[in-house]
Amino acid sequence: MQMVRVAGMMTGLTVLLVIAGNYMAGSNGAVLFFGIAVVMNVGAYWFSHKAVLRMYKARIVGPEDAPELYRMVDRLRQNADLPMPVVAIAPSQQPNAFATGRNPEHAVVCMTQGILQLLPPRELEGVIAHELAHIKHRHMLVSTIAATMAGAVAMLASVARWGMIFSGGRDNRDGNPIVMIAMMIVAPIAAMIMQMAISRQNEFQADATAARITGDPRGLASALAHIDNYARQIPMDVNPAAAQLAIINPLAGGRAQAFSGLFRTHPPTEERIAALQEQLVS
């Protein structure tokens, strides 16, 4: 069901791109800027793991550096039928975790120092399984495609805006200039809303899959509650661009709380816990 919803939203982004592109810059312009967006985002997707690890100041570790963590990841990835990912540790004291990499064969699972110190093994297993679920469902690829679509719409809107500025506000196409202005404002916002909605659906799917990997929905539910609470008390210095990868928004204690629910990268933690509790009775 989650994949159907994500597919529907991806279709919506595609349709939005086609409509916005045709109206703002014609079909040729839409194709051109979509191509530019693809090149930019494919490049980011291919090398994302290196950039994200730098943003979190994380270091790669082996079985000799963190034997218990490494064994736990190895056992859970076998349960998930995945190849062994690279394991990394970030120095932040805020308990959190993320996964990155372009596919299951080139994936990274990263835990913060705080999560290793503050969460008991049962909860840590749920968190690791959640990150492995992101890898299993190739959510990094889905997010990249969504970012490509949203980025292309944003570029088209920018081109249309500058075109109107240099033409003195005259519209040399047959369309209504008021509609044109509305499209320049509404289309990028709509694309961003769809992109954030896809991110939230990915979190629900990863939670559900993690519970099946561990066979323990309560462990992950308890971990989410604890991480959410700690994130409001222990700040993390991280680029907002990388915040959406974490299991709980690491900026939850700051300006992230001011945003509307439509622009949230993560669902409310209470809703995620409720969804996990439903798995106990289903």
User: What amino acid positions are annotated as catalytic residues?
Assistant: 131
Q: For residues 110 and 99, is the Cβ–Cβ distance under 8 A?
A: yes
Contacts of 41 (CB under 8 A, 6+ apart): 144, 145, 147, 148, 151
CA 280, 250, 202, 200 dihedral sign is: positive
**Tokens representing residue 274 in the block:** 């409720």
Nearest Cα residue to 152 out of 8, 9, 5, 29:
29
Nearest Cα residue to 103 out of 61, 37, 39, 46:
46
Q: Find how far residue 225's CA is from the centre of its chain.
A: 20
φ, ψ of residue 129 to 5 degrees: the values are -60, -35
CA angle, 119 then 83 then 214, to 5°: 40
Q: Whole-angstrom Cα distance, residue 266 to residue 244? A: 7
